Amino acid sequence: MEYQLIAIERKGNTDLVTINDEPSRNALSPQLVTELDQYLDSAEEDKAIRTIVITGSGKSFISGGDIRAMSTMTPEEAEAYAWKTETVYEKFINSDKIIIAAVNGFALGGGSEFTLACDFTVASSTAKFGFPEVTLGIIPGGGGPSRLFRKVGLSVAKRLIYSGKIITAAEAALYGLADMVVDPEDLLTSALELASEFDRGSAFALGACKRTINAACGIENHVGMVDEIGVFADCFQREGQVERMNAFLNKSKK
């Protein structure tokens, strides 16, 4: 299958997936979401793949949602966009493959939420995490409110989401948002070495373990996402949302 925004390289039993849309800083555009969705469907059918490592090109892992696209969305369009993204996250969570985020740079908003759908997060020491959606007049709509507290605890989740603060990789590891922090030049090697740890078990057993652990933790809580995405969509008819997004876009041009 041909992709425009992602590149796939087979490394033994692991697929290394690189998000490659540097002009947008690897933003979660509708096209990128579609390509990730299509890739995961094909990977799920490939029994040779046990693990998937996902990283970004340039200075960003995933810079966040596609603010340029979101700035003109109606509430209905925002809801459809959020559900399309959530469908991909749920496929990651429910996949039999072990999925590792290798965070090379900015993982903001949707980028941090993306890591919550992965099994593990290996971060470069130069990586940045955060949930700055409140500064744009919206809420995190891709699992931040529904999944973050399971990863970092309720108080830390509230602080990160309420403040919109951008944190370092070291802080992310301290809070539990990142599982491992390594030097930038060691990022992919470390992520692939982690993936190789899961070669000993049977593919069926790995998938079964993942499903039972996620079910016990409530990670695939679809009910919570219904409420979250509904509130996210409602933000797109509230005062100040368009102005805040346009201000962000104008600032990013400078």
> Which percentage of the chain shows pLDDT scores above 90?
70
Band (174; pLDDT cuts 50, 70, 90): very high
From the candidates 113, 171, 197, 228, which is the catalytic residue?
Answer: 113
Q: Which of 173, 149, 146 is nearest to 160 (CA)?
A: 149
Reported as a single tens digit per residue, the pLDDT across 102-112 is 999 999 999 99
Determine whether 113 is an active site residue: yes
pLDDT at 214: 85
The residues, any chain, with a CB within 8 Å of residue 1's CB and separated by 6 or more, are 38, 39, 42
113-128 pLDDT tens trace: 999 999 999 999 999 9
Position 200 confidence tier, pLDDT thresholds 50, 70, 90: confident
Q: Where are the alpha helices (DSSP H) in the chain?
A: 30-45, 67-70, 75-94, 110-116, 144-152, 154-163, 169-175, 187-196, 203-217, 222-234, 241-253
Name the band, by pLDDT with cuts 50, 70 and 90, for residue 216.
confident
User: 121 - beta bridge partners?
Assistant: 101
Using CA atoms, how far residue 214 sits from 39, 99, 176, 191, 192, in Å, is 22, 13, 17, 21, 23
Q: Whole-angstrom Cα distance, residue 116 to residue 220?
A: 11
Question: pLDDT-based confidence at 70, cuts 50/70/90?
Answer: confident
Task: Identify the pLDDT of residue 230.
Answer: 86
User: Which tokens sit at 128?
Assistant: 């940045």
The Cα 126–Cα 87 span in angstroms is 30
Could you give the domains of the chain?
A: 6-186 (3.90.226.10)
pLDDT band at 177 (very low <50, low <70, confident <90, very high): very high
Say whether 133 is catalytic. Answer: yes
Q: What is the pLDDT of residue 239?
A: 77
**CA gyration radius, the chain:** 17
Q: Rounded mean pLDDT of the chain?
A: 92
**C-alpha distances in Å from residue 112, one per residue of 10, 46, 143, 253:** 25, 27, 9, 23
Q: Which of 35, 133, 171, 228 is catalytic?
A: 133
pLDDT at 229: 82
Kindly compute the dihedral angle of the four CA atoms of residues 9, 187, 59, 63, in this order, to the nearest 10 degrees.
80
